[in-house]
C-alpha cells in the first residue's frame, strides 16, 4: 500500500504520518506539502528517512500528477485552516481548499486510486444550537473557511457520484495534540502562558467545541481508509464538549499559570457558538475515541512545555505579524 498524504507537514497530517509509521509500518508514505506558514518540516522529524517528502502545491496539476502516479490511496489534509485568517482574506482558502481538492480529484479520476479520503470538518454543518449533527444533516457553513471546506466536501462526493472515484469523506471535530501551529487555542494559550502573556478569549467564552485527541482522529481516518464505504461520509468527534472558558481554565491549570492571564476580547465575527457530532456511524465500524480528555489535555500542554525549540522559532517568525495585525492592531490583545 502506497499512500499519498497531502498537507503532511501540518498538524494533523504530520500526526497521521507518525501514526501510520507506528500502526502500519509496511505502508509506503509520500507527503506532498507546499510548506506554507503552517507547514513545518520539523513536524516530520524522526520519520523523515522513512517517507518520501515532496514540496509542492495541491492546486498545481503538474505537482499533483507527479506524485499521484503509483499511489494506491490519497488522504487530503492540505488546506488553509484558520477561520480568523479566512475572515481577513479568503483567497488562499478558495484556491487550496476547493481548487486544490478539484486538482487532486481530477488527477485521481485520470490515474485511478483505490481510495480517496477527503478530510472535511464538523464546521461544514454550521452552528448546531442543540443536539448532534449526523452525516445526512444539511451543510450550513457560516465562515469562509467552513464554506471552502463544504465546497470541497461536496465536490469530492460529486466525483464519487458522477465519476465513480472511490471517495470517503471524514468530518472531524476540533483536534488537540502536539505540533499544532500556535495560532490555535491550545498552543496559543500554553505558549503565551509560559511567557506570561495574556490569553485572549473571544466574547463571553461560551463557544462550544467537540474536542478530539489527534491520535483518535488519526485512528478514525485509518478506520475509514480500511473499512469505510466509498461515497460515504463519517463524522469523527471526541464527544468532549467544552466551551472556551472551560478550555482556557483547563489549559492554564495544566500549565500551572495564573488565571488572570485570561482576557476577554471582542468576539470573532460570525462566530459559531456550538458544534457537536454524532459519530455512531463510524463507531459501527469498530472505532471509538480512546484518549481520556483530561489526560490528553495534560499531555498536550506538557508537550508544548517540553518543546520550546519547536514553537519559539514559529512565534518569532510569521506568527508575529499575524499577532500584531489581528490582535494588537484590532484591540484583541
Ligand atoms: N485542526 C482541526 O481541529 C481540524 C478539525 C477537522 C478537520 N480539519 C482539517 O484537517 C486538515 C488538516 O488540518 P490541520 O489543523 O492539520 O492544518 P494545518 O494548518 O496545521 O496544516 C495544513 C498543511 O497543509 C499544507 N498546505 C496548505 N496549502 C497547501 C497547498 N496549496 N498545497 C500543499 N500543501 C498545502 C500546509 O503547508 C500545512 O502543512 C485540514 O483539511 C482541516 O480542514 C482540521
Q: What is residue 333's predicted lDDT score, i.e. its pLDDT?
A: 67
CA distance 170 to 188: 26
The candidate with the shortest Cα–Cα distance to 300, out of 258, 261, 253, is 253
Q: Looking at the CA of residue 97, tell me the nearest atom of ligand 1.
A: 41
The answer to whether residue 331 scores a pLDDT higher than 80 is no
Please list every protein residue whose CB sits less than 6 Å from any atom of ligand 1.
Answer: 6-7, 9-13, 32-36, 38-39, 57-59, 77-81, 96, 100, 119, 121, 149, 172, 174-175, 181
pTM of the predicted structure, to 2 decimals: 0.98
How confident is the model over 20-67, as pLDDT tens digits? 999 999 999 999 999 999 999 999 999 999 999 999 999 999 999 999
Average pLDDT rounded to a whole number, residues 209-224: 98
Ligand 1 centroid to residue 261 C-alpha, Å: 29
Query: All domains of the chain, ordered by start, with CATH?
Result: 2-175+211-236 (3.40.50.720)
Of the candidates 122, 183, 210, 272, the residue annotated as catalytic is 122
Ligand 1, pocket-test mutation among 5, 12, 235, most atoms within 8 A of CB:
12
How confident is the model over 149-186, as pLDDT tens digits? 999 999 999 999 999 999 999 999 999 999 999 999 99
The answer to whether residue 330 scores a pLDDT higher than 90 is no
The answer to whether residue 17 scores a pLDDT higher than 90 is yes
Nearest CA to ligand 1 atom 44: 121
Nearest CA to ligand 1 atom 12: 77
Query: Is 145 a catalytic site residue?
Result: yes
Q: Looking at the CA of residue 145, tell me the nearest atom of ligand 1.
A: 43
Q: Which residues contact 71 (CB under 8 A, 6 or more apart)?
A: 2, 3, 4, 30, 113
Of the candidates 125, 145, 157, 304, the residue annotated as catalytic is 145
How confident is the model over 231-284, as pLDDT tens digits? 999 999 999 999 999 999 999 999 999 999 999 999 999 999 999 999 999 999
Q: Tell the burial category of 254 from Cβ atoms under 10 Å away from its Cβ (0-12, 13-18, 19+).
A: buried
Ligand 1 centroid to residue 76 C-alpha, Å: 9
CA distance 126 to 196: 34
Ligand 1 centroid to residue 160 C-alpha, Å: 23
Contact call for residues 2 and 30 (beta carbons, < 8 A): yes
Query: Is 123 a catalytic site residue?
Result: yes
The answer to whether residue 71 scores a pLDDT higher than 90 is yes
Q: Looking at the CA of residue 174, tell me the nearest atom of ligand 1.
A: 3
Sign of CA dihedral 257, 261, 264, 270: negative
Percent above pLDDT 90 for the chain: 97
Q: What is residue 185's predicted lDDT score, i.e. its pLDDT?
A: 97
Q: Looking at the CA of residue 96, tell me the nearest atom of ligand 1.
A: 31
How confident is the model over 73-123, as pLDDT tens digits? 999 999 999 999 999 999 999 999 999 999 999 999 999 999 999 999 999
Q: Looking at the CA of residue 82, tell me the nearest atom of ligand 1.
A: 19
Ligand 1 centroid to residue 217 C-alpha, Å: 14
Ligand 1 centroid to residue 260 C-alpha, Å: 32
Beta partners for residue 233, in sequence order: 169
The answer to whether residue 319 scores a pLDDT higher than 70 is yes
Ligand 1 centroid to residue 173 C-alpha, Å: 13
Amino acid at each position: 500500500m502506497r499512500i499519498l498524504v497531502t498537507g503532511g507537514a501540518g498538524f494533523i497530517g504530520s500526526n497521521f504520518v507518525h501514526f501510520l509509521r507506528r500502526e502500519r509500518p509496511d505502508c509506503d508514505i509520500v507527503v506532498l506539502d507546499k510548506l506554507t506558514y503552517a507547514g513545518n518540516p520539523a513536524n516530520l522529524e524522526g520519520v523523515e528517512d522513512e517517507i518520501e517528502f515532496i514540496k509542492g502545491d495541491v492546486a498545481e496539476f503538474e505537482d499533483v500528477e507527479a506524485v499521484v502516479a503509483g499511489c494506491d490511496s490519497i488522504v487530503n489534509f492540505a488546506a488553509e485552516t484558520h477561520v480568523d485568517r479566512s475572515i481577513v482574506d479568503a483567497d488562499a482558502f478558495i484556491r487550496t481548499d476547493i481548487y486544490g481538492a478539484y486538482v487532486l480529484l481530477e488527477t485521481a479520476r485520470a490515474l485511478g486510486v483505490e481510495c480517496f479520503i477527503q478530510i472535511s470538518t464538523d464546521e461544514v454543518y454550521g452552528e448546531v444550537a442543540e443536539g448532534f449533527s449526523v452525516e445526512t444533516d444539511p451543510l450550513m457553513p457560516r465562515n469562509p473557511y467552513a464554506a471552502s471546506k463544504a465546497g470541497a466536501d461536496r465536490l469530492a462526493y460529486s466525483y464519487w457520484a458522477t465519476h465513480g472515484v472511490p471517495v470517503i469523506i471524514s468530518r472531524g471535530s476540533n483536534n488537540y495534540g502536539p505540533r499544532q501551529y500556535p495560532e490555535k487555542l491550545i498552543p496559543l494559550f500554553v505558549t503565551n502562558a509560559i511567557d506570561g502573556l495574556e490569553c485572549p478569549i473571544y466574547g463571553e467564552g461560551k463557544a462550544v467545541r467537540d474536542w478530539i485527541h489527534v491520535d483518535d482522529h488519526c485512528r478514525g481516518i485509518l478506520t475509514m481508509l480500511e473499512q469505510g464505504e466509498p461515497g460515504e461520509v463519517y463524522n469523527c468527534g471526541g464527544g468532549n464538549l467544552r466551551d472556551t472558558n472551560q478550555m482556557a481554565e483547563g489549559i492554564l491549570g495544566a500549565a500551572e499559570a495564573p488565571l488572570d492571564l485570561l482576557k476577554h476580547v471582542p468576539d470573532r465575527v460570525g462566530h459559531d457558538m456550538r458544534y457537536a457530532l454524532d459519530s455512531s456511524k463510524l463507531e459501527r465500524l469498530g472505532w471509538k475515541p480512546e484518549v481520556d480528555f483530561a489526560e490528553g489535555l495534560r499531555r498536550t500542554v506538557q508537550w508544548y512545555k517540553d518543546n520550546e525549540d519547536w514553537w519559539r522559532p514559529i512565534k518569532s517568525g510569521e506568527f508575529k505579524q499575524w499577532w500584531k495585525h489581528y490582535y494588537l492592531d484590532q484591540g484583541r490583545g
